[in-house]
Amino acid sequence: MPDSGGFLPSQGGFAFTDAWPSEPAVMVPTPFGQISIGNAAAGLCGGMVFAALDYWHAALPPPVAGPAPGTPLYRYLVQRLIDSWHLPAGVAQYYQWMNLPDGDAGVDLLGRHIVIEHGLAWRTIQTQWPQIAASLDSGAPVALGVVTVASASPADLGVNHQVLAYGYDASAGQVTVRVYDPNSGRDDGISIRFDPRTPAQPTTFAHNLNIARPVRGFFRTAYTPAPPPSS
């Protein structure tokens, strides 16, 4: 499957990685109360993903040099980080997925297995992946929310990650999603791989993202283009 719209991290990604000095956190209202999602030291991955898509839509190359705090580009990345959380619905989706099992939960009753709740594997493979693949087939990269933690604590929302899918390869037993990972810079070799054949069971989402946690599942995030700063 060709890469969407010619996007490649080596060309459309930022030359700098998602590493920043500690800055005052941006406190935003969520269904779980005020949550800090804007401390740059914790990462601006969602902002960098949305910004890379913005530059792609504008047919402009992204800046090479990392911005200093307080500059227009830096403020733009922080704002796009907040946009990437799609408040309040986006935060609620991350939190819901953090509290779901990896595989389907069900009971056996009168000789039948009844699914009580679909897990992250089923939701990723059966509901999200077809939508993501359709967008990639049409030539449009897709921003993804990546769930990396099982937790009921809203404080762990920031442990999750965001990447940009730009292409994929698929066979009966494996799907390889090629992604731009802001933590990895302009590396065209980053991907998430999974076997789509048993979505009701816990599924391994193998990856080489520059994160220390496993990938439990991923979903398409709500993206709307925004104009990049002029300087």
* pLDDT confidence of residue 185: 94
* 21: number of Cβ within 10 Å: 8
Cis peptide upstream of residue 88 (ω within 30 degrees of 0): yes
* pLDDT tens for each residue of the chain, 231 residues long: 545 568 999 999 999 988 776 665 566 667 767 766 555 446 789 999 999 999 999 999 999 999 988 899 998 998 999 899 998 899 999 999 999 999 998 767 777 877 679 999 999 999 999 999 999 999 999 999 999 999 999 888 888 999 999 999 999 999 999 999 999 999 999 999 999 999 999 999 999 999 999 999 999 999 999 999 986
Question: What are the φ/ψ torsions at residue 165 (nearest 5 degrees)?
Answer: -80, 135
Please answer whether residues 145 and 219 qualify as being in contact, where contact means their C-beta atoms are separated by less than 8 angstroms. Answer: yes
pTM: 0.90
Q: In angstroms, what is the C-alpha Rg of the chain?
A: 18
Strand 142-147 with 217-220, pairing? antiparallel
Token pair, residue 32, equals: 């779980």
Instruction: Quote the Cα angle for 105-110-115, to 5°.
Output: 20
Burial code of 81-118, b = ≥16 C-beta within 10 A, e = fewer? bbbbbbbeebbebbbebbebbbbbeeeeeeeeeeeeeb
* pLDDT confidence of residue 96: 96
* pLDDT confidence of residue 36: 63
The residue type found at 131 is Q
* pLDDT confidence of residue 43: 75
* 212: number of Cβ within 10 Å: 7
Please answer whether residues 25 and 38 qualify as being in contact, where contact means their C-beta atoms are separated by less than 8 angstroms. Answer: yes
Phi-psi region of 59 (alpha: psi -120 to 50; beta: other; left: phi over 0): left
Contacts within 8 Å (CB) and 24+ apart, 30-33:
30/87, 30/88, 30/91, 30/92, 30/154, 31/88, 31/91, 31/92, 31/95, 32/91, 32/95, 32/154, 33/154
Nearest to 51 by CA among 41, 39, 61, 65: 61
Please answer whether residues 227 and 76 qualify as being in contact, where contact means their C-beta atoms are separated by less than 8 angstroms. Answer: no
